[in-house]
Amino acid sequence: MGDPYASLSLIDDADEATAVEPSFEQKRTYFKKLENPHAFSSIFGDAGDDLWQSAAKRNRVVVLEKELDEVLRSYKPHIAKAEWKKLMDYRPDFLKRAGDTPERVEPLINRLQKVKIPLFSDEKVEFNRAPAIRIISELEKILA
């Protein structure tokens, strides 16, 4: 009787002696096939912790980007139309500097969440003409 798990095996028994370390992508595909989160360490080994952490950090940077965009979107009606481009130009700069120090990402997400205009579902921010510089200087304070 053949091995029922053969298809899930990452390395062929016959080639064990000459086996090469599978690539990260291969490991990831295998891990996905297993559908068992507890198998993470045995597949990725010690290096898995680092991978896991860096994936988690990348994830938080994505969350930070999403938070920043939500904050900016909430202020959009409040900002003079001509000033919006300045904010969009500033956006990558903010994200780059925020992402440079990974340990700051989480506090920054929290601070951004606090300055989002808190709206109920049937509410609308009325138009205003706030200059981009004002918003940028407040975002700089958040970054500092």
- The footprint of another protein (CB under 8 A) covers 71, 75, 78, 80, 114-115, 117-120, 122-130, 134-135, 138-139
Q: Which is nearer to another protein, 32 or 114 (CB)?
A: 114
Cα dist from 51 to 58, 59, 95, 125, 138, whole Å: 10, 12, 22, 42, 34
**CB closer to another protein, 3 vs 122:** 122
Nearer to another protein, 19 or 80 (CB): 80
**Least distance from C-beta 113 to another protein, angstroms?**
10
The angle that helices 84-100 and 132-143 make with each other, rounded to 10 degrees, is 10
Minimum distance, C-beta of residue 93 to another protein, in the bound complex (Å): 16
In the complex, minimum distance from the CB of residue 9 to another protein, in angstroms, rounded to a whole number: 55
| Identity of the residue, 104 or 116, whose beta carbon is nearer to another protein in the bound complex | 116
Cα gap 64→108, rounded to integer Å = 7
Distance from the Cα of residue 120 to its chain's centroid: 27
Element (H, E) at 87: helix 84-100
